[in-house]
Amino acid sequence: MRYRLAIFDWDGTLMDSIARIVSCMQAASRDAGWGEVEAEAVRNIIGLGLPEAIATLFPGIDAERAERLKARYAYYFVEGDTTPMVFYPGVESGLERLRRREGQRLAVATGKSRRGLDRIFRESGSGDWFHASRTADETLSKPHPLMLEELLAELDVEVGEAVMVGDTEYDLEMARALNMDRVAVTWGVHAPARLSASRPVFTASAVPELFDWLHG
């Protein structure tokens, strides 16, 4: 067993939800009267908690408009936008393969809210795949390492026995802050060159490659 605990980011790592996030944030920005926001700018903040994402995307936004934007984003993401969200091909079988290993622990560390993660767990039937999860609104947003510290404590795993898997520098820097091993995946939002700056122990360019490596 390469690691007792494998911790996964969600959006852009396990689930192909990038187009939905971009579409919803663009619509919310228009509704809030901010105007157009570029798709690449939205892609850049995927992985952060929503308040941190809004502060980054809309510098100087006032509190009232920020709250309006958050509410409109939530509306579009839950019911107003029908852009499909699916697991990347091979994710479900790869996680099942890991789950069959004795002593293996799986967890999620995401910029989603608890309400949002629980909703997607229910809709996808994936909630019982993981032994624990943390969201940005119940700890601190990435790249702060608090959610990883809490997962390690909850599952009684040492930092050297765990790995963080993600598609953004926020995921990798969160792990780097704890000197936790980290794996970059290149099918998400941040470019390989940007990910390599965080010195991942492995970079996967395809889902099967990731799970073969994790399986050891």
In a shared domain, residues 211 and 164: yes
In a shared domain, residues 115 and 26: no
In a shared domain, residues 121 and 144: yes
In a shared domain, residues 105 and 192: yes
In a shared domain, residues 119 and 189: yes
Domain count, the chain: 2
- Distance from C-alpha of 176 to C-alpha of 131, rounded to nearest angstrom: 22
Tens-place pLDDT, residues 95-119: 999 999 989 999 999 999 999 999 9
For the chain, state the CA radius of gyration.
17
What Å distances lie between residue 26 and 22, 23, 33, 48, 113, CA to CA? 6, 5, 11, 16, 19
Task: Report which of 132, 140, 148 is spatially closest to residue 181, judged by C-alpha positions.
Answer: 148
For residue 133, the model assigns a pLDDT of 98
In a shared domain, residues 194 and 207: yes
For residue 211, the model assigns a pLDDT of 97
Q: Which domain holds residue 162?
A: 5-16+87-215
For residue 1, the model assigns a pLDDT of 58
In a shared domain, residues 109 and 191: yes
What's the token pair of residue 209? 């490659």
In a shared domain, residues 180 and 144: yes
In a shared domain, residues 129 and 94: yes
In a shared domain, residues 12 and 115: yes
Q: Single out the residue in 27, 54, 80 at which a domain terminates.
A: 80
For residue 33, the model assigns a pLDDT of 85
Regions in the chain scoring below 50 on pLDDT: none
Please spell the DSSP secondary structure of 104-140, one letter per residue: -EEEEEESS-HHHHHHHHHHHT-GGG-SEEEETTTS-
CATH number of the domain where residue 165 is located: 3.40.50.1000
In a shared domain, residues 98 and 174: yes
Q: Single out the residue in 61, 80, 99 at which a domain terminates.
A: 80
Q: Single out the residue in 37, 63, 80 at which a domain terminates.
A: 80
